[in-house]
Amino acid sequence: MPDTRYPTKKTMKILLAPMEGVVDSYLRDILTNIGGYDLCVTEFVRVVDQPLPPKVFSRFCTELETGGKTTAGTPVIIQLLGANPDAMAENAARAVALGTPGIDLNFGCPAKCVNKRNGGSFLLQDPQRMFDIISAVKTAVDDAIPVSAKIRLGFENTDLTLDIARAVEEAGANYVTVHARTKADGYKHPVRWEWLAKVNDVLSIPMIANGDINSIDDYRRCTEISGCENVMIGRGAVARPDLARQIRDFQNNETSSTLTWKDVLILLIKMSNDMTTDVKTKYIVSRTKQWLAMLKREYPDAGNCFSEIRTMKNYQDVKKALNSQLSSL
């Protein structure tokens, strides 16, 4: 029987996007327990030309210790970023041996620090090189392990968009996630969902639509325009922690409840408390501020909370302020 965890042309899967420095194992655990997600993808693991030690994979994917799943039972797939086919293949095989239920390959990161090293979206300029990387990884792992690719519409423009999509499929990828912008667009240019329809039309493998899905209405319009029911959400998921659950309820024609600011504040406090056993308190403070800053878009009270703790550097002060906010609600 086919593995129902993974997208097909006819499914309505919801994936949690990899967001470097934002969606780590702590946030994945919180968001997947709220519900709605079928799969998560880790922040990218950078591959150069050497096999990485197990501790590197474990750092990016602590879920390897729990069968490659969050505590909610949602599979977590390791994402690799690199330009060397042999090294990518070797590290993919190592990640699978450690327990990842799949491999995702990053050809979409627009960051300058990544692109100047010929990684991420830089490779969109060379579909043949992308083909070589994907096919090498496919050869290195068991057929039962899905290999996917995360791409954009192109580097500077959309001239190679369909060639890129065809290269991904011909290399043997099981599915592809397409962010509906080019590298040059960054995150500022209006999303081009109409291009997702063009990509979907030339593919026989499943496509995951990605880019500016921040509400149920965005989901509805994106799927109508792209013709694709599978979606990956990122920034919208962080700003609206129950977005995936809302989309799932919409898919099932059910009424969706929404999280109140009090609900979200409790989750924020939980995340910071969970982190105290593993990471330095300086990191906890910065991550707490980061999430609050992103929550401001949907929760005005998050802006007030952020203003209160913005200059704080001590974790105990932040913890006291958050609990005081909660007590006042």
* Residues identified as active-site: 109
Triad 158, 162, 165: Cα angle to 5°: 115
Asked whether the beta carbons of 233 and 177 are under 8 A apart, the reply is no
| Residue 246 structure tokens | 């809302």
Sign of dihedral through CA atoms 112, 114, 120, 125?
Answer: positive
Cα gap 90→82, rounded to integer Å: 12
At residue 2, φ and ψ (nearest 5 deg) are: -65, 150
- What type of residue is 116? K
Torsion, Cα 115 209 242 277, to 10 degrees, reads -30
Q: Which residues, at least 6 apart from 105, have a Cβ–Cβ distance to it below 8 Å?
A: 79, 80, 81, 88, 133, 134, 137, 147, 148, 149, 150, 173
Cα gap 171→96, rounded to integer Å: 19
- What type of residue is 269? I
Determine which helix (DSSP H) or strand (DSSP E) holds 218, and give its type and residue range.
helix 216-226
